[in-house]
Amino acid sequence: MQARYKTYFKWTAMIAGGSLAGMVMIAMAAYMYLAPLLPSAETYRNVQLETPLRIYTSDNRLIDEIGNRRNPVAYEDIPQILTDALIATEDVRFYSHPGVDIQSLLRGFYGFIRGERRGGGSTITMQLANNLSFDSDNVYLRKFKEIPFALQIQRELSKEEILTLYLNTIYFGAGADGIGAAAFVYYGKDVSELTLAESAMMISLLPCPSACNPLTSPERSIERRETRLRNMLKEGMISREEFQVADNAPITALRRNRNIEVPAPYVAEMVRQQLFDEYDEDTYSQGFEVTTSIDGDKQLAANQALTEGLEIYYDKRHGYRGADANYPPNPLEPNEFWLQHLQPISAFGNQQPAIVTNVEERSFTALLKTGESVQVEWEGMSWAYTFRSRNEAWPPPETASDAVEIGDLVRVKQKDGQWELGQVPDVQAALVSMSPTNGGIIALVGGYDFRRSQVNRVLTPRPPGSNFKPFLYGAALEEGYSPASTINDAPITRGDYRPHNYENNFLGPITLRYALKESRNVPAVRLYDQLTSSKVLPFAAKFGFQTQNFPRNDLTVALGSQDVQPLEIVTAYSALANGGFKVDPWFIKEITSDTDGLIYQSNPLTVCENCQTSQDKTTEIVVPAPRIVDARVVYILNSMLRSVIVEGSGSRVNRELQRGDLMGKTGTTNGPTELWFSGFNRDIATTVFVGFDQPEPLGEREQGATVAVPIWIDYMRHALDGMPENTMKRPDGIVDLLIDKTTGEAATPGETNAVFEYFRTENAPQTPDSRLPSVELNEEETEELSTETIF
């Protein structure tokens, strides 16, 4: 028996020794493999200051802040209560272990075997090792890698240096890397000024900085703060009285960074992309401050005009498409059940997600994700005709239950203190406003809501329709035509192509002024056919259109069939507004950085009468914009675009704004799938585009005048508020002569329909019977015209 025990113990000892030797060999092999991969102290000891990219309007209001903030602090500046809160919560044996706590690791491993949650076993030093180097989806593999690095850190740094490095590198949420930045972001103070309650709150953020912080989840953050305070009380770090005072302290955290004053996310993304192309990841940490050309007040007006315009002028007119979903009430706790469904749903535009909790005959009650209940009266929902198609919305609601029912996930918005039933538009739009003087972008909105879609439609090419026609007519004026030149509004066929007018009729001979004012398609095609692409496309190219991509001898170009960006359109119209000078679009005024100060200053092409060209270093040198078109051509074309506003498709502009300095042109493509309006005075040019991202008909009743024009009006009403009327000055070399406004022929005073028309001096008729330039019909078209109805 004794021999048997000896043999047993002998084999047990051998197995244990072999296992231990094997574990040591595995550990040594792992260390030898990982040791060369471990960073040296020099690479992580010093934490650098990081300041996010900040983007401002031209009047110094914050548009956005991109990146995280880091403001390293010294150990001497960290209050004892903060390190105590950290140690009491994360690593109570911090000062006694060598960077790895075997007891905690075994406890964590035992919990893993038993399927119990007993903590992960990571020390502060191991967490620091992970923050500085390793990352893995597998928590236990990550810990295996952390161990040798933690041991190395322990050898190379003191305990105080480890605490300092940990607190300077850990993420605290709200864009704050490190405790120095977090103290400022949440409390607006230096880390040394943090109170016990604030210190405990900071440490409570570490496992879940985004979901647990006092800004997004105040109730949860109070519970987590209490746990940290109890840990400190348990370890004897604070007294019972200190615990009570800190536990009862109210939440005072407010986000002190990224207080956006002028939301312009599409502008911010344009800035971010431009800087990233040059500075890569340093874009987000080197303290770049970018001042843009954006006018803060005008940007706010543009945001509101586009958001509300899409809702009012298009989406509501086409009916209510119904609830996004329906969640039948939980009979035990319906509000909590509904709130759980609301939390992940974002607000878009000015519309909040809500769930209908009660329906009366002419009103309903809805629950917001904040827990607040709101009442929607009949006036706020009577618009909700049932959507049937883009061309039909019927029938109208007669009671609230015709539109909503309990459990419906809907959208609501507040207007003038009253809540309304809303609906997130499925159509999109863009608005861009520019200074004709130097091309600076004054306001830019690339879509209904950046959170819903980051596609910047200001930069997305789409067919402009009749928005392109001014450049066809401008080419004609440059070739010697005048607004009084006649063109036959009569059928034209080229191969299989046979254009038609929106009204599906023909008017016979009309003047160019009338043809542009009424946006007649057939006369435009006929004019393009006579001028040819060799004359029209080079003229349009002067204004910035990428006509090298346009097809030659394609008559549909006359009607704006080729894709162009809204930014291209507004740039071209800016050249009309400024009298014929080429300006380039730009949006970055200056860039500074923390280390280098001013690193970029814009100096755009500028339209000016007396540009400073001296080499006096105290005077800013202006780069004069080059003239691209005869001023007289532009002046006459502008007068034709003024006719569009006074009595054409843009007459709503004249009725509502009642200004004598506005010109512009609508645009509507086949379908219609795109709606446009571009207009200007001498100070501001603005383009509005409306359409689906995947082109589809908007509805047979829609035109540029029905949606794009009122959005443009709403923006320009604010943009021009308080600004005197301002138009291009009349250049020399233009004469006014009487003509018959219907036939375009020279007239004498007192004749019916006699009006004054503009002519370039060299092209003006010298006698009443002088022949004006016109677009001729060939013999075949004359015969065809005789078979068509003219009315």
Answer yes or no: is pLDDT of 143 > 90.
no
CA distance 356 to 338: 9
Cβ atoms within 10 Å, residue 157 = 19
What's residue 219's pLDDT? 85
What's residue 460's pLDDT? 98
Do the Cβ atoms of 650 and 665 come closer than 8 Å? yes
CA distance 334 to 355: 11
What's residue 343's pLDDT? 87
> What tens digit of pLDDT does each residue of 599-611 get?
999 999 999 877 7
Average pLDDT over residues 373-393: 97
Give the rounded distance of the alpha carbon of 506 from its chain centre. Answer: 44
Q: Is 288 helix (H, G, I), strand (E, B) or coil?
A: coil
Band of residue 787 on the pLDDT scale cut at 50, 70, 90:
very low
CA distance 62 to 258: 8
Answer yes or no: is pLDDT of 597 > 80.
yes
Average pLDDT over residues 640-647: 97
CA distance 90 to 639: 75
Tokens 């991509």, residue?
A: 549
Band of residue 789 on the pLDDT scale cut at 50, 70, 90:
very low
Answer yes or no: is pLDDT of 781 > 70.
no
CA distance 758 to 632: 9
Instruction: Quote the pTM value.
Output: 0.86
Q: Nearest-CA neighbor of 46 among 78, 74, 69?
A: 74
Answer yes or no: is pLDDT of 204 > 50.
yes
Answer yes or no: is pLDDT of 18 > 80.
no
| Pair of tokens at residue 426 | 């499925």
Amino acid 567 reads L
The residue with greater pLDDT, 393 or 211, is 393
528-532's contacts with Cβ under 8 Å and 24+ in sequence apart are: 528/472, 528/555, 528/557, 528/558, 529/492, 529/494, 529/555, 529/558, 530/775, 530/776, 531/472, 531/475, 531/476, 531/479
Q: Where in the sequence numbering do the catalytic residues fall?
A: 90, 466
CA distance 789 to 187: 78
Average pLDDT over residues 551-561: 96
CA distance 305 to 299: 10
Q: What is the DSSP letter of 330?
A: P
CA distance 25 to 38: 19
Residues 6+ apart with CB under 8 A from 281: none
Band of residue 3 on the pLDDT scale cut at 50, 70, 90:
low
Answer yes or no: is pLDDT of 141 > 80.
no
Average pLDDT over residues 179-193: 94
Band of residue 10 on the pLDDT scale cut at 50, 70, 90:
low
Cβ atoms within 10 Å, residue 640 = 24
Q: Which of 30-34, 140-144, 373-377 tops mean pLDDT?
A: 373-377
Question: What value, to the nearest 5°, has the Cα angle with vertex 132 and ends 130 and 133?
Answer: 70
3-state helix, strand, coil in the chain (%, to 5): 40, 20, 40
Cβ atoms within 10 Å, residue 701 = 11
CA distance 320 to 402: 11
**% of the chain at pLDDT higher than 90:** 74
Amino acid 422 reads G
CA distance 146 to 643: 75
Give the orientation angle of helix 218-234 with respect to helix 240-247, to 10 degrees. Answer: 170
Answer yes or no: is pLDDT of 112 > 80.
no
Residues 6+ apart with CB under 8 A from 573: 470, 664, 678, 679, 680, 685, 687
Average pLDDT over residues 44-66: 90
CA distance 54 to 65: 4
Average pLDDT over residues 167-178: 92
Q: Nearest-CA neighbor of 676 among 694, 715, 703?
A: 703
CA distance 262 to 517: 37
Give Dmax (Cα) for the chain: 141
CA distance 567 to 590: 21
| Pair of tokens at residue 605 | 């092409």
Band of residue 620 on the pLDDT scale cut at 50, 70, 90:
low
CA-based end-to-end distance of the chain = 125
The residue with greater pLDDT, 404 or 70, is 404
Average pLDDT over residues 727-739: 96
> What tens digit of pLDDT does each residue of 413-424 get?
999 999 999 999
Band of residue 34 on the pLDDT scale cut at 50, 70, 90:
low
The DSSP code sequence of 238-264 is S-HHHHHHHHTPPP-----S---SS--
Mean pLDDT estimate for the chain: 89
| Pair of tokens at residue 557 | 């170009």
Average pLDDT over residues 343-364: 96
> What tens digit of pLDDT does each residue of 91-105 get?
999 999 888 877 666
Answer yes or no: is pLDDT of 29 > 90.
no
| Pair of tokens at residue 204 | 């409570």
Band of residue 788 on the pLDDT scale cut at 50, 70, 90:
very low
Residue 392: its H or E element: strand 392-393
What's residue 101's pLDDT? 76
CA distance 690 to 672: 10
CA distance 637 to 737: 16
> What tens digit of pLDDT does each residue of 216-251 get?
888 889 999 999 999 999 999 999 999 999 999 999
Least confident of 62-71, 133-142, 313-322, 432-441: 133-142
Average pLDDT over residues 114-122: 59
The residue with greater pLDDT, 331 or 692, is 692
Average pLDDT over residues 756-775: 75
Q: Nearest-CA neighbor of 650 among 691, 706, 700, 699?
A: 706
Answer yes or no: is pLDDT of 262 > 60.
yes
Average pLDDT over residues 366-385: 96
Cβ atoms within 10 Å, residue 163 = 22
Do the Cβ atoms of 682 and 728 come closer than 8 Å? yes
Cα Rg of the chain (Å, integer)? 36
Q: Nearest-CA neighbor of 296 among 61, 89, 485?
A: 61
The DSSP code sequence of 597-655 is EEEEE---EE--SS---S--TTSPPPEEPPB-S-HHHHHHHHHHHHHHHHHSTTHHHHH
Band of residue 211 on the pLDDT scale cut at 50, 70, 90:
confident
Do the Cβ atoms of 267 and 63 come closer than 8 Å? yes
